[in-house]
Amino acid sequence: MAVTTATARKVERRRRHERAARPGESTTKRWILYAIMIALAAFFLFPLVYMLASSLKPDNQVLANSQSPEAFLPTPFAGLENYGDAIDRAQVPRVFLNSVIISGLIVGLGLIVNSLFGYALARLQFTGRNILRATIVALIIIPFEALAVPLLFMGAEVGWLDTYQIQILPFIANPLYIFLFYTFFLSIPVSLEEAARIDGAGPLQIFTRVVMPLAKPAYATVAILGFLFSWGQFLWPSMVTRGIEVRPLPVGVGVFKTTPPVSWGDIMAYTVLMTVPLLVIFVVFQRQFVQGVASSGVKG
């Protein structure tokens, strides 16, 4: 053991000396990496900048300079007129409230159901556990579009079309989120739960007071992914809703489909209103999101 430790220390000292001997190379690599990251960030930000700038232009100027750098500048500046028109035409307060209700319930109920399912899969030993785990992994690769038509017929049979529940219940349990929770719970030492059990804690107390506080990154990750998915749903709400009463934001953009000329300024303003909540949610929980994805990826 002493020989192994001494050898490891020598190797580490040699590496430090090698890094110190090539400071210029390390700095160059770092700047190259920064340049690549900045270029990628700019590439992914271009659509957002274009959308924001276009939402502040008159309708007839949105596509006028689409192939020049002026497309990313709000010139000529039309103020917030497009936002007012978009809010009035698409009844934004109503559809925004619908999206908040639908996404909030999907995320809230999904965190409870998926975390309990993932915890049971990680801790309980029962017949068919491996088959159930393999089934969950297999379900991840099945696209929702393959299930949309059968779900539509089932919803019509029970009279749920044009309601909130038809947009919420099918998405509460999600195999991807179950698997994320499962892999994260595997990284939590069982000894912590055994110590709580010795102190007299029951299964529910162990889960709520020991496991859940340690799994905050996983909860944040699933919450963000679930919110992104539910907030941007278009296909399913357009299939199961008919009126504005229960339609979410993405489907509300359909009111701008008019005869030419299309009001591109209003459309861009509407998409900005849709995107802002997503950006706010991600900025607030970005640290937990990164920690949860990294932990699930390493342990899974």
Please state, in angstroms and rounded to a whole number, the distance separating the CA atoms of residues 188 and 173.
Answer: 23
What own/partner pairs with CB < 8 Å and gap ≥ 24 does 132-139 have? 133/182, 136/175, 136/178, 136/179, 136/182, 137/175, 137/179, 139/175
Collapsed DSSP state (helix, strand, coil) of residue 163: coil
Given this model, what pLDDT does residue 103 score?
94
Given this model, what pLDDT does residue 299 score?
46
Q: What is the pLDDT along the chain (300 residues), one digit of tens a residue?
A: 444 455 555 556 666 655 555 555 578 888 898 899 999 988 888 888 888 888 888 877 777 776 777 777 887 887 788 898 888 888 889 999 999 999 999 999 999 999 999 999 999 888 888 999 999 999 998 888 888 999 999 999 999 999 999 999 999 999 999 999 999 999 889 898 989 888 888 888 999 999 999 998 889 889 888 998 999 899 999 999 988 889 999 988 877 876 566 788 888 899 999 998 888 887 877 776 676 666 555 444
CA distances from 204 to 119, 196, 211 (A): 12, 11, 10
Residue in 48, 80, 76 with CA at minimum distance from that of residue 61: 76
CB 221 within 8 A of CB 207: no
Given this model, what pLDDT does residue 9 score?
59
Given this model, what pLDDT does residue 2 score?
44
Collapsed DSSP state (helix, strand, coil) of residue 189: coil
Given this model, what pLDDT does residue 108 score?
95
Given this model, what pLDDT does residue 173 score?
93
Please state, in angstroms and rounded to a whole number, the distance separating the CA atoms of residues 51 and 65.
Answer: 13
Given this model, what pLDDT does residue 3 score?
41
Given this model, what pLDDT does residue 1 score?
44
Within 10 A of 85 (CB to CB), how many other CB atoms are there? 17
Given this model, what pLDDT does residue 176 score?
93
Given this model, what pLDDT does residue 89 score?
85
Given this model, what pLDDT does residue 15 score?
60
Given this model, what pLDDT does residue 70 score?
75
Query: Tokens 């949610």 identify what position?
Result: 281
The alpha helices in the chain, defined as continuous H runs, are 2-21, 23-55, 81-90, 92-123, 129-140, 145-157, 165-168, 175-186, 190-198, 203-206, 212-214, 216-231, 235-240, 249-252, 264-299
